[in-house]
Amino acid sequence: MARKPIKRNSSFPPQNNQSMYVGVFLLIVLLGTLLVLQFTSQPGEKTLTYSQFLGQVTNGNVALVRIEGQVIQGEFKNRVENASRFVTILPLMDEELLPLLKQAGVEIIGEKVKEQSGWSLTWMIVGGLLLVAFLLFVMRGAQGGDSSRAFTFSKSRARLHRENTNKIRFSDVAGCEEAKQDLQEVVEFLKRPEKFNAIGARIPKGVLLVGSPGTGKTLLAKAVAGEARVPFFSVSGSEFVEMFVGVGAARVRDLFSEARKHAPCIVFIDELDAVGRSRGAGLGGSHDEREQTLNQILVEMDGFDSSEGLIILAATNRPDILDPALLRPGRFDRQVVVDKPDVKAREAILKIHTRKVPLADDVDLSIIARGTPGFTGADLENLVNEAALNAARNNRKKVTMEDLEFAKDKVSLGPERRSLVLSEEDKWMTAYHEAGHAILGHILPLNDPVHKVTIIPRGQALGITYHLPEVEKRSIVKEEALQNIIMAMGGRAAEELKFGKDYISSGASSDIDHVTRFVRTMVCEWGMSEVLGPVRYGETEGPVFLGKDLVTRKNFSEKIHELIDEEVQKIIAQCYSEAIKLLKKHEKKLDLLAKTLIEKEVLTADDLKELLGEAPKKQFPRLELIKKELEHPAQA
């Protein structure tokens, strides 16, 4: 399909409008002058010529005059045309005026000439401020020189990226291969629409990208436009809504009008939930500007045919709160999930972000990828940047593995706090606490291998034990969960074992919080309690009047609640008891590890292997038995 030539809407005001601005300026000056005259003139005052003034004096109808320079103001004895006061100008010095006034018995008051009236000065300042405000408004609306934007409230704020300026391709996006495969059909349609039209297929009008913040939804949309080599309109959902009623809907109409002129093209709406929330979600279900904008989006998406070559992409991290009318077939009828990357995807993302970063020979990106579970693409980009900054700070020309490890720790846990002064008691308490975690993590076969132990304070923590997953986990078995709890309670268990119950510290607060929530999840959601069984306790729901913000509703009795609390306490107590028993068995290794931490402050996986020996191999005994039975089934 040939791309249509670019056309521009004529907008108000026209582009060559210097004369119009001059007219507006003169109008403001005129209005300012009228305001000054309005506020400085006195009501009921008649303007006389000098001859008329002399006639009134001769007739004896002037009671009082005030002379200020050449300005003469006075009061009539009898009203003249319903005016009790008058004003006139003395054209020349008249030496006969004063004798004439005295002869007529007129009271004469002389006043000093004033430089400027207070009201006049005030309104000159106000007029100047109005003029400055007007010029600033024009400049702000110009947006890079286009002064016609000053009055175009209803014009779309979408940014147009030309096909020859968008250099982003699918090769620049890693970690979301399934999403790229789904979007490849959109690219193919924009390139060769006749292939789909010939068979009667209809490409989706709208594609909704769903994923956590930082997973690359906007980058994917730009890559689609870059691959298809078509114009790309980018706008945020919040840019539609203004304080003026009807502006959002007008901007939606203008956006789709411009997009049709540049078809084939892509329109990308970021943060769709800003205008796409379920209607009636406000308190009382009132109609507001956002709902009017949403209604216009729905109308526009119904009003175009996909054969026009207009594709709507949108991104959100809250698909649960979107209006159902947006998600029905014919609008956003395809959802593409952009999930957090797994270990292989993280390694691919790191390779992309290190293209322009010189790496040392010791760098192994697979280790960094394994040690960053839960990181998004944006997090990994920040990690690489922090590593490069650290290398430059230390006058290195290449980024080393040490820089990447430093950046990983800084991004996930915060910067080191070497300036924090710890007492001797705190150092030993922290060393034994982290040694307890490390030993249990090392000897329990279903735990992730310990990667590093440090007693250097980071963020709010005085010490940290790092684990490096061997594989990406998608599920967890009960025994593995219990071993994780035992390892997490190892810090508190080591403190009690070496210092006694009366000298345990508050350093285990985060461990206790994590374990409590984890065990409650095991009992209430995963069905890992023998007493309560495989039942879900607690339902998640979203009240409409709160915009479907998730809350948990209690759907069980007080008796069940007591059983849940008892099960949580029982599991934690059993795991804590097991942690103390294991540490007593390996108390010599605990002492050795704590002493070494005091000396070195940081221990790597190789150091732990040297001190504690080889870690047991991770295995699931029942799984091995099942494999053997399948390979050699028993004879009936």
CATH number of the CATH domain containing 461: 1.20.58.760
Buried b (16+ CB within 10 A) or exposed e, 533-570: eeeebeeeeeeeeebbeeeeeeebeeeeeebbeebbee
- Give yes or no: residues 348 and 333 share one domain: no
> In this predicted structure, what is the pLDDT of residue 609?
85
Per the prediction, the chain carries an average pLDDT of 78
> In this predicted structure, what is the pLDDT of residue 44?
65
- Give yes or no: residues 175 and 226 share one domain: yes
Contact 362, 399 (CB under 8 A): no
CATH number of the CATH domain containing 312: 3.40.50.300
- Give yes or no: residues 276 and 363 share one domain: no
Provide φ and ψ at 295, rounded to 5°: -60, -40
How many C-beta atoms lie closer than 10 Å to residue 619's C-beta?
A: 10
- Give yes or no: residues 279 and 318 share one domain: yes
The domain boundary residue, chosen from 337, 365, 385: 337
- Give yes or no: residues 522 and 590 share one domain: yes
- Give yes or no: residues 103 and 242 share one domain: no
> In this predicted structure, what is the pLDDT of residue 486?
94
Where residue 492 falls among pLDDT bands split at 50, 70, 90?
A: very high
> In this predicted structure, what is the pLDDT of residue 8?
39
For 108-122, 194-208, 262-276, which range has the lowest pLDDT when averaged over its residues? 108-122
> In this predicted structure, what is the pLDDT of residue 7?
40
Where residue 633 falls among pLDDT bands split at 50, 70, 90?
A: low
CATH number of the CATH domain containing 101: 3.30.720.210
Give domain status of residue 373, yes or no. Answer: yes
CA angle 368, 374, 377 (to 5 degrees): 75
- Give yes or no: residues 355 and 325 share one domain: no
pLDDT in tens, 504-514: 888 888 899 99
> In this predicted structure, what is the pLDDT of residue 546?
40
pLDDT in tens, 222-258: 888 888 888 888 888 777 776 555 677 888 888 888 8
Q: Which residue has the higher pLDDT, 458 or 477?
A: 477
- Give yes or no: residues 435 and 398 share one domain: no
Contact 157, 250 (CB under 8 A): no
CA-closest candidate to residue 375, choices 213, 168, 178, 517: 213
The CA-atom distances, in angstroms, between 435 and each of 152, 454, 572 are 66, 9, 20
Residue 143 confidence (pLDDT) above 50: no
For 109-113, 364-368, 494-498, 563-567, which range has the lowest pLDDT when averaged over its residues? 109-113
Residue 382 confidence (pLDDT) above 50: yes
Helix (H) or strand (E) holding 370: helix 365-370
Query: What is the bridge-based pairing of β-strands 602-604 and 450-454?
Result: antiparallel
Give domain status of residue 504, yes or no. Answer: yes
| pTM above threshold 0.75 | no
Residue type, 320: D
Give domain status of residue 67, yes or no. Answer: yes
Tokens representing 557 are: 């009795």
Give domain status of residue 63, yes or no. Answer: yes
Give domain status of residue 448, yes or no. Answer: yes
The domain boundary residue, chosen from 93, 114, 135: 114
Q: Average of pLDDT values for 517-531?
A: 91
Q: Which residue has the higher pLDDT, 280 or 102?
A: 102
Give domain status of residue 215, yes or no. Answer: yes
> In this predicted structure, what is the pLDDT of residue 115?
52
- Give yes or no: residues 254 and 364 share one domain: no
> In this predicted structure, what is the pLDDT of residue 129?
67
Domain residue limits at 582: 424-624
Give domain status of residue 96, yes or no. Answer: yes
Contact 447, 487 (CB under 8 A): yes
What does the alpha-carbon distance between residue 56 and residue 48 come to, in Å, rounded to a whole number? 10
pLDDT in tens, 568-618: 999 999 999 999 999 999 999 999 999 999 888 888 888 888 888 887 776
> In this predicted structure, what is the pLDDT of residue 90?
79
The domain boundary residue, chosen from 51, 80, 114: 114
As for how many domains the chain has, the answer is 4
Catalytic center residues: 434
Where residue 391 falls among pLDDT bands split at 50, 70, 90?
A: very high
- Give yes or no: residues 330 and 367 share one domain: no
- Give yes or no: residues 387 and 508 share one domain: no
Give domain status of residue 129, yes or no. Answer: no
Where residue 132 falls among pLDDT bands split at 50, 70, 90?
A: low
> In this predicted structure, what is the pLDDT of residue 146?
46
- Give yes or no: residues 320 and 347 share one domain: no
Q: Average of pLDDT values for 268-296?
A: 73
